[in-house]
Amino acid sequence: MFLGLGANLGDPLAQLAAAVAGLRGAVEVDVVSSVFRTEPVGFREQPDFFNLVVAGSTRLEPGELLRAVQEVEARMGRVRTFRDAPRRIDVDVLAYGDLVIDTPELTVPHPRMAARGFVLHPLAEIAPDWRHPVSGKTARQLLAGAVGLERVERVGPLPGQPGT
């Protein structure tokens, strides 16, 4: 299971660390990618985002996992205003094993992940051989084949994580 996290308001690094910690009740976090600073996608008149990807496992069903990550967002002050808006925290379910789900509430794998550098760079860092359950391409192949990606710069390890 992979989750994508991003923030661009307040103290994004602290918020990412708090979100990773907040997920630990619902998710057994195995690996946290480096943090990547990325230019906004969609609505461009906002600060850069800081993004990372978490690999882990959970006993929750996909819909329960979605509700759990939304609870983390709500506790951290996430307010949904418009698509691609600035935010204190965003947590997306990117993939859940080999499952392909398309419901009004949840689509996995995430429908735009293969076109987002802020997902592909950290995903390829921690799971280069993970295969997209629809395309069959590895994370490394998805990143290598992506065109027109937003600017992405590796910042480094998330402060407070093992090994930092």
Tell me the catalytic residues: 78, 87, 90, 92
Q: Percent helix, strand, coil in the chain (nearest 5)?
A: 30, 25, 45
Torsion sign (Cα): 53, 142, 128, 47:
negative
CA distance 40 to 47: 7
- State the chain's maximal CA–CA distance in angstroms: 39
**Helical segments of 36-116, H only:** 62-75
As given in the structure block, the two tokens for residue 138 are: 């590895």
Do residues 29 and 98 lie in contact, with contact meaning Cβ atoms separated by under 8 Å? Answer: no
